[in-house]
Structure 1
Amino acid sequence: MPGISFTSYLYPVLLLIASNIFMTFAWYGHLKYRSAPLLAVILASWGIAFFEYCLQVPGNRLGSAVYSAPQLKGIQEVITLLVFAGFSALYLGQPLKWNHWAAFALILVAALLMFKE
């Protein structure tokens, strides 16, 4: 396709990586603060999720020019798992075990099938 460059493929992925970091903190960051009131962590999570959406929506919008919707979802799932693996080990102090990695590998294979013609 004329006008489609490498960056057309890269920018959406970078935006989705950044958005996923925010999403992971919004969804799981409060687990480190179990004594915090539930309403407070819900409101904090919503605040964090706002920034996640500010990156995710443009990432998917730009990505739709070069990826199909199923491909974007597959990319997002792989990003989610990789970001979560690092988050779980580094932030929560809960490294993944072999069975978690094996399950993630199977999801990776499923995501890669999205790119088969």
Structure 2
Amino acid sequence: MTLLPVPLMTVGLLVASNVFMTFAWYGHLKFKAAPILTVILASWGIALFEYMLQVPANRLGHGTFSAAQLKTIQEVISLTVFVVFSWAYLGERITWQHGAGFALIAAGAWVLFQNWG
């Protein structure tokens, strides 16, 4: 039994896992002088926490969501977290192309969640 509804728990765990994974994959870009082996090992360490959240999220959510829906939710969350990360942490500018591309991905996610028989 969960304290929160399954969809909310699933999405919450996926958001948290994606924050860890984004830092594991891209956080080192601010530390280009660090040796690559150090970066890889640090990334693996951070990714462990991502897996500790992602796996339970998928296990909990499967049944309420299909596997394809879980993957779609994860991808939309991943892109959202990445946009915030690249702007806030890396200082990169968000352009209209980012918005347009994300809107198309969101439209694809919407299609996947429709029950058209």
- TM-score range with shorter-chain normalisation? over 0.9
Which of 25, 34, 37 pairs up with 2:35?
Answer: 37
Asked whether 1:25 is paired with 2:23, we answer yes
Cα deviation, residue 95, structure 1: 2.5
Unaligned runs of 5+ in 1: none
**Taking structure 1 as the reference length, what is the TM-score of the superposition?**
0.93
Once the two structures are superposed, residues 22-63 of structure 1 have per-residue CA deviations (whole angstroms, 9 ceiling, x without a partner) of 000000000111111111100000000000000000000001
Which of 44, 47, 57 pairs up with 2:45?
Answer: 47
Q: Is the 8 A contact 1:13 1:59 kept in 2?
A: yes
Cα deviation, residue 6, structure 1: 6.7
Q: Please list every run of at least 4 consecutive aligned residues from structure 1 whose deviation after the TM superposition is greater than 3 angstroms.
A: none
Q: Which amino acid aligns with 1:108?
A: A
Q: Is the 8 A contact 1:77 1:111 kept in 2?
A: no
**Taking structure 2 as the reference length, what is the TM-score of the superposition?**
0.93
The alignment of Structure 1 onto Structure 2 pairs a total of residues equal to 114
Asked whether 1:108 is paired with 2:102, we answer no
Q: Distance in 2 between matches of 1:6 and 1:109?
A: 27
Q: Distance in 2 between matches of 1:38 and 1:96?
A: 28
Task: Tell me how large the CA RMSD over aligned residues is.
Answer: 1.5
Unaligned runs of 5+ in 2: none
Once the two structures are superposed, residues 58-98 of structure 1 have per-residue CA deviations (whole angstroms, 9 ceiling, x without a partner) of 00000102000010011011101110011000000002111
Q: Distance in 2 between matches of 1:30 and 1:49?
A: 13
SS in 1 for 2:5: helix
Q: Distance in 2 between matches of 1:54 and 1:6?
A: 19
Q: Distance in 2 between matches of 1:6 and 1:16?
A: 14
Q: Distance in 1 between matches of 2:4 and 2:68?
A: 20
